[in-house]
Amino acid sequence: MTLEWEQVVVDALDPDALAAWWREALGWVDISEPGDEPELRPTPDSLPGLLFVRVPEPKTVKDRLHLDFRPDDQAAEVARLEALGAVRVDVGQADASWVVLADPEGNEFCVLGSRRTS
């Protein structure tokens, strides 16, 4: 038996707008058909993706699952994402080496520092 990771589902008040933000932030492609829920992937044939589904209520509490990203240059990437509309959030991380940001609907994600090499 095999189990393949297809996608992460993201609840959104405005799935099209949130998917557009993430498409710009990640440089991914939208593989959805017109009228379908927006689905982004790194390339059309790669997995996993992000699927954005409409929900009636706004986000109200800290996410129990979030995405982590490790860029080449953390400070530059945080600045780029903030310029796109991400905001820094405090989820109790204190002086951690990562930066916690939230997308336009408040979903948290982390921008990690460089990987340690030994």
Q: Which contacts of 80-88 are long-range, i.e. CB under 8 A and separated by 24 or more positions?
A: 81/25, 81/111, 84/21, 84/24, 84/25, 85/21, 86/25
Residue 19 scores a pLDDT above 70? yes
pLDDT band at 118 (very low <50, low <70, confident <90, very high): low
Model pLDDT for residues 62-117, shown as the tens digit of each residue: 888 999 999 999 999 999 999 999 999 988 888 888 999 999 999 999 999 987 66
Domains of the chain, each with CATH number or no CATH: 1-57 (3.10.180.10), 64-118 (3.10.180.10)
Its pTM stands at 0.90
Q: What is the pLDDT at residue 117? A: 62
> What is d(CA 93, CA 73) in angstroms, rounded to the nearest whole number?
20
